[in-house]
A and B are shown apart, each in its own frame.
Chain A
């Protein structure tokens, strides 16, 4: 298995479907398998980053806590779409972990530099 530059593009909100959690689980595995992983949260995917989540109210895992665990699996290149945050009134310090905000041009450059992009 070669090491690939692999970006996970996360656009789905948490809790309403299993997409967010299952995508995050695959990202953790990618970290274990030593791929060069980046993660880009955009559109409703940015809701996964918001602090104050309480999944236990629904009897489920808190997605924000899973996101917070990414750096423990060597996933540190975490990006967020600046426009998606602004459109939802979310500030950078509302997020559960540091994420680098990117404008559209920077997101295009990020994607162009990948060998594989997996969506949620």
Chain B
């Protein structure tokens, strides 16, 4: 078996997932009147939402800031590299039917495919935007009124987009039980890696996959 995610990465993932879950739930209660009516205690819900939002970057920052974050840093490095294979992969994705399967199979994907890279970039960027607009909405005094209205606009629509992307993320995980299992236990089979991440297996996109 190969180690896909070490314990630091798994802890960060699940802490983030929990925070996102709480943010989505409390956000829905603040935004959708029928849910808010069921829960009540708006002031408390608002506080939970704000402080979970502020806490969102903390696990990632802690994980990156020490020697324990070596694997995570290597993976971030992979996310930040946009290769010719990634472009080919996206182009292949747009093809129809068996043609798509064939051309996707021929690409030497690294540890993360282009879709995963785009997902990571989107969540990281939109997380910062949500943080910024959330701060404007919560501590609104220094900002002009039109900015507050604009921040509300961005926060609302981006929340909807993030929700859809997270549903997509969970859907993809449920479609690949081996990959999802590795986010719980860390390891994944060599066969899976050969099929989904051959360049990772052979150490072409960073340190090669460690054996466990």
A binds B: no
